[in-house]
Structure 1
Amino acid sequence: MVTVEWRIMAAESGAGTQAVARALSLLVCFSDEHNELRVSELSARTGLGQSTVSRMISSLERLGFVAQDARTGLYRLGPQLVTLGSAALNSSFLFRAARQVAQNLAHATGLGVNLAEFSDRQLFYLCNFEGAKSPKSFTMAGRTAPLHATGMGKAILAEQSKEYVDIYYDEGLANSYTPHTITRSSEMHKALEEVRNRGYATEIEELAFGRACVAAPIRGRSGEAVAALSVSGPLSELEPPARQQELSLMVIEAADELSVALGFTMTRAPQPRMPLSVRGPAD
């Protein structure tokens, strides 16, 4: 469902920006679960009239932002958005620095390798590469994920203050995805202490059944955790302690390489992130 913020923008924008807000509200209706939509569905999701949606979706189609299936009449996102998405990714120094590192790690381990930024109390995926033992038919780039139910998220939470973690839970952000998801702040504090002691985080069927990962934080110039890197795959590939230890060393080494690329040096000690200036790193 289109977010409340976009619906408000579309309804309340001034005359000069209302058309832009409405057009964007149509685009954000599309998702992995709803990648093809009818005009009537777009109208229901945005609250805009069908005539308005028809007019605007036709303009978006002419510009290449959406495409219509000639057989079904359904609309999907168009190639122009791929061009813009690629430009956005390529403008990220972290993405450019990490792309080859992540690809090499996926090849060496045979597992999936994920890179995500810390932004607005969640993870934002920049890229992922699949190994032979962890194939995917889709990309993770552009998706978001929760901090508490992922290895990368816990690697980042371990660098935050106790107050930050408590507020994260108090605000109801710790949804349950499986019976293994940590939904109590007291349990998370224990888990994060373990992360700090061993230098890496794990996620064992906390976001999805049958999946596991090992992750480490990536630090910016100031020493704050600004992103994270993980190796993920089937539980059977990561569960043996010896295999987990081997993978953790590889992930930490790769994450440290990216931290250095961002300007971090070991002489800069990381500082705990204080509560709810959490709009993401400035690095």
Structure 2
Amino acid sequence: MNAEHQAVTVIGLGSMGSALAAALLDRGHPTTVWNRSPGRARPLADRGAHLATTPREALTASPLVLACVRDYEALHSVLEPASDNLAGKVLVNLTSGSPEQAQEMAGWARSHGADYLDGAIMTTPPGVGSPEMMFLYSGPPAVFEAHRPALAALGDPLHLSDDPGMASVYDAALLGLMWSTMTGWLHGTALVGAEKTPATAFTPIAIRWLTAVAGFLATYAPQVDAGRYPGDDATIDVQIAAIEHLLHAAASRGVDNALPELLKSLMERARAAGHGADSFAGVIEALRKPTDIR
């Protein structure tokens, strides 16, 4: 069977695991599924998935094994009793956890003769299968390339590093970006909402603004890498003055100011460290550990 229709096993059939298995079935991959509660597997079995009755049977069924369970403790409890069936397999772990757990899991898989990729799913279950959604992977590049066609059934597969912990690092970083962005949008929505502006009217303008913000990120990234922040657009000093307007407008309308107060404190720390005349990218110096070396 060619790589385009490689047999795949999915272990763990919560909302995300079920979406993974469904996407594989939709793209013609012979798919074996296993879940601690067999009832979750029946809708997939009705669509053509093979229902394994044990983890051992699930591991034996396919050369490529995707695991998406609650946490690493659950993952070990499933795989450890059947670990002698891992030899020669590729284990792709899509279970959320820390970079250190991913690195430990990679060593554990290697000790049982399996190749290992760690992954991060950058979407919710309804987005699985869309080529627009990113799936991040880290681990041996050759293993990733060999199984790219099957992984592409889930979303756009991006390989980050041979360090198995890197997908988890990116996952955490991107979630932080998401939460910060959405909270900023909600704060703005509450602010304009105090003037009876509906979120549906504010949001198209906010989205257009994010296009400009993306341009700022592209401008600042080389500055961050170089550790030099020319303040030729808007300095941190100027930004501190500007955020006072946001704080005043929100406070006057009864909107919680915890987020902008945090942003202001970071800017002030950067200014106190001598970066007041730098671009906003200089705020990273208030976020980095003092021992970080560029």
**What's the TM-score, normalizing by structure 2?**
0.27
**What's the TM-score, normalizing by structure 1?**
0.28
Bigger proportion of residues as helix? 2
Bigger proportion of residues as strand? 1
